[in-house]
Amino acid sequence: MKKTYSKNLFKHALEIIPGGVNSPVRAWKAVGGTPLFIERGKGAVIYDADGNSFIDYVCSWGPLILGHAHPKVIAATEKALHNGTSFGAPTEAGLKLCELLVKQIPSIEKVRLVNSGTEAVMSAIRLARGYTGKNKIIKFEGSYHGHWDPLLVSAGSGLATFSVSSSAGVPHDVIKDTLIAPYNDIEAVKKLFARYGTDIACIIVEPVAGNMGVVLPEKDFLSSLRSITEKYGSLLVFDEVITGFRLGAGGAQALYRIKPDLTCLGKIIGGGMPVGAYGGKAKIMDKVSPVGDVYQAGTLSGNPVSCACGIATIKEILKEGFYRRLDSKAEKLCKELKNIASKNKIKIVINRAGSMFTVFFTHHDEVKNFTDAQSSDTALYARYFNLMLCEGVYIPPSQFEANFISSLHSDAQIRKTLDAAEKSFTKLSKI
Ligand code: PMP
């Protein structure tokens, strides 16, 4: 693998960008080595600045469900681009994207477009607080909801304790209303409600967690969150920034048949361009300015180029059989990976939801919360990452992330990935 040009770019980047990257996990701190500069992508393959190619299982962290540079997405985006990039005024493209979201996501009656998942989440939480007149929020250990101060809270320990921020620069006062419970632990949630119930504005949850690696909700977890929030007059907020249009055209909420009060979206709805959205019941959304008194705004929100990219992406995935074909690729890949690992006597747990999955290098029998996820051997994962990279396969540069498959991952590319895994696991077994 040639690396010179990419390495030089990174060296220069280190001089002028903190850590050389515009988002921390791109720096490969968890797996070592010099991050690749990516020059282009086509289908399931990315090409670095030295011309090396890799089968991509990061897919820009989820948005690229149709793979890179899908012809229809590019054509629609290019067409929009020629008419101007942003007007700061209503556009038909903005309306059409909203229409698609209202039609597809079961709980969304009204929706507002923003520019990122972080923005969607911070707006939804402000709205939940404004609507209920309550202050506290519950989030789950190991979940990530973007880099907004009140949600940048580490796992913490103890159920009813106020948490400690995982970032400097976040004043204690800002996170004092953030309560933490372990994922899949409804008893912990009940205890928080018993103690603080009158002042809990909402629970925010990834209905399928993607940010401690993929962790599925246990039976009744989501429905219990629905009933407890109803009981106390709090809102249930689903963060479907990853799962929206990933687990099906109605997101995780359609799959699990739970209607949250508010839903946050991002990633796929922009098809690789910056878009986020939050939406829900009309009576709650009408609390947003200019109708209501919860303020939220954005210069580039609903810009026609991002919206055209998102609309073209969603149109493709609404075609008959899309998710069946996509998920079966992931199913096959995960089944074979498991066989390869066990043949080489390496204990792994694979959690998969549709076309997103994580291979945990853990001795635990299952991974159902952040503590289980943290039992993983991250050094072994780092070796696996580097071995796969040498074989031309790009997986997430951290154990605690999801792999994503696109509709353009071909059978031949999946076979090639499995051959790479075969070689990598054989080497790992000899360490
Ligand atoms: N929520 C979830 C579940 C996410 O995974 C992410 C980002 N990975 C965000 C929110 C924040 O989105 P963004 O990076 O677009 O701000």
The active-site residue, picked from 57, 131, 144, 323, is 144
Please give the pLDDT value at position 2: 85
Please give the pLDDT value at position 325: 98
Task: Calculate the alpha carbon distances from 356 to 4, 27, 44, 249 in Å.
Answer: 32, 22, 15, 15
CA 303 to chain centre: 22
**Residue that is written with structure tokens 């009158």 in the block:** 198
Mean pLDDT by 10 residues, the chain (431 residues): 91 97 93 95 98 98 98 98 98 98 98 98 98 97 93 52 71 92 97 97 97 96 98 98 98 98 98 98 98 98 98 98 98 98 97 98 97 96 98 97 98 98 97 79
Q: In what order do the strands lie in the sheet with 45-48?
A: 38-42, 45-48, 53-56, 393-394
Pocket of ligand 1 (CB under 6 A): 61, 116-118, 121, 144-146, 206, 210-211, 239, 241-242, 266
User: What contacts 24+ positions apart, CB below 8 Å, involve 224-233?
Assistant: 224/186, 224/189, 225/186, 225/189, 225/258, 226/258, 226/259, 226/260, 228/186, 228/189, 228/190, 228/193, 228/203, 229/202, 229/203, 229/261, 231/193, 232/193, 232/197, 232/198, 232/200, 233/132
Please give the pLDDT value at position 305: 98
What is the three-class DSSP state of 312?
helix
Tell me the CA end-to-end span of the chain in Å, nearest whole number: 23
CA distance 202 to 135: 9
Which residue puts its alpha carbon closest to atom 1 of ligand 1?
145
Distance 151 CA to ligand 1 centre (A): 11
- Best mutation site among 241, 306, 401 for ligand 1 pocket (most ligand atoms within 8 Å of CB): 241
Q: Which residues contact 79 (CB under 8 A, 6 or more apart)?
A: 308
Q: Strand pairing of 45-48 and 38-42?
A: antiparallel
Q: Is 239 labeled as catalytic in the residue annotation?
A: yes
Q: Which residues contact 271 (CB under 8 A, 6 or more apart)?
A: 63, 64, 66, 73, 77, 309, 310, 312, 313, 314
Distance 242 CA to ligand 1 centre (A): 7
Domain architecture of the chain: domains with CATH = 4-69+320-429 (3.90.1150.10), 71-317 (3.40.640.10)
Q: Is 196 labeled as catalytic in the residue annotation?
A: no
Please give the pLDDT value at position 343: 97
Cβ contact 312:318 at 8 Å: no
Which string of DSSP letters, residue by residue, matches 333-377? HHHHHHHHHHHTT---EEEEETTEEEEE--SSS---SHHHHHTS-
Torsion of CA 323, 324, 325, 330, to 10 degrees: 80
Cβ contact 106:272 at 8 Å: no
- The ligand 1 atom nearest the CA atom of 61: 8
Q: Is 323 labeled as catalytic in the residue annotation?
A: no
Radius of gyration of the chain (CA): 21
**Residue that is written with structure tokens 């780092």 in the block:** 382
Please give the pLDDT value at position 3: 86
Which string of DSSP letters, residue by residue, matches 91-115? -HHHHHHHHHHHHHSTT-SEEEEES
CA distance 242 to 62: 6
Please give the pLDDT value at position 164: 64
Which residue puts its alpha carbon closest to atom 7 of ligand 1?
146
Whole-structure pTM value: 0.97
The active-site residue, picked from 56, 239, 261, 372, is 239
Distance 408 CA to ligand 1 centre (A): 23
The active-site residue, picked from 267, 278, 329, 381, is 267
- Token output for 266: 């991002």
Distance 319 CA to ligand 1 centre (A): 26
- The ligand 1 atom nearest the CA atom of 143: 3
Residue 56, by phi and psi: left (phi above 0), alpha (psi -120 to 50) or beta?
beta
The angle that helices 186-196 and 221-232 make with each other, rounded to 10 degrees, is: 10
Distance 425 CA to ligand 1 centre (A): 31
